[in-house]
Amino acid sequence: MKDGISGAPLPPGFPYKDIIDALSVKYQVSPCLVGAIKVNESGLSDPPDVMSGDGGHGLMQLTSSWPENWADPYANIEYAIAHFIVPAWQYWDQWLQGEGLIRAIAASYNAGLGNAIAGHEKGNVDLYTTNNYGQRALEHYQDLLAGKAY
């Protein structure tokens, strides 16, 4: 995979591994990055129809928009990748690579692209995220690359 980000598949046993691996190939994004964002959003054990108190829907906790069939794992994950991860990747890969790119994509997923850009311009892409979201995603990404199935 380009820009210092691995395209390695998720470790065996990771929830929804087959869906995430297949969609990551389709959209040319890192399965471990998608998995890391999924861990940040809904952990490992939440059912696909989970709804959070702040309005998040499904495995990827879509809040601003979601597919009509948001409780379907495939639809929820695909929507998150196509509408949030891919656009953030396309924006950030002009300037960042490796760990910085992972953090920026994840921060954009959590806080929105505009807020992640504003934070980056002030020296901390996680400035407007929830609990250092981008850094936590980077740590999950590294664990998944190392084969940790959680």
Strand blocks (E) in the chain? none
- Residue 48, pLDDT > 70, answer yes
- Residue 63, pLDDT > 90, answer no
- Residue 79, pLDDT > 90, answer yes
Position 55 scores a pLDDT of 84
Query: Domain 17-145: which topology?
Result: Lysozyme (1.10.530)
> Which of the 8 DSSP states describes residue 28?
T
- Kindly state the average pLDDT of the residues 5-22: 94
- Kindly state the average pLDDT of the residues 99-113: 97
Q: How confident is the model at residue 26 (pLDDT cuts 50, 70, 90)?
A: very high
92-131 b/e with 16+ CB inside 10 Å = b?
bbeebeeebbbbbbbbbbbbbbebbbebbeeeebbbbbee
Mean pLDDT over the full length of the chain:
93
- 98-111 and 133-145 helices cross at what angle (nearest 10)? 130
pLDDT above 90 covers a percentage of the chain that reads 77
Domain boundaries of the chain, sorted by first residue: 17-145
- HEC profile of 53-75: CCCCECCCCECCCCCCCCCCHHH
For the purposes of burial, counting CB atoms within 10 Å of the CB of 82, is it exposed (0-12), middle (13-18) or buried (19 or more)? middle
Greater confidence (55 vs 20) lies with 20
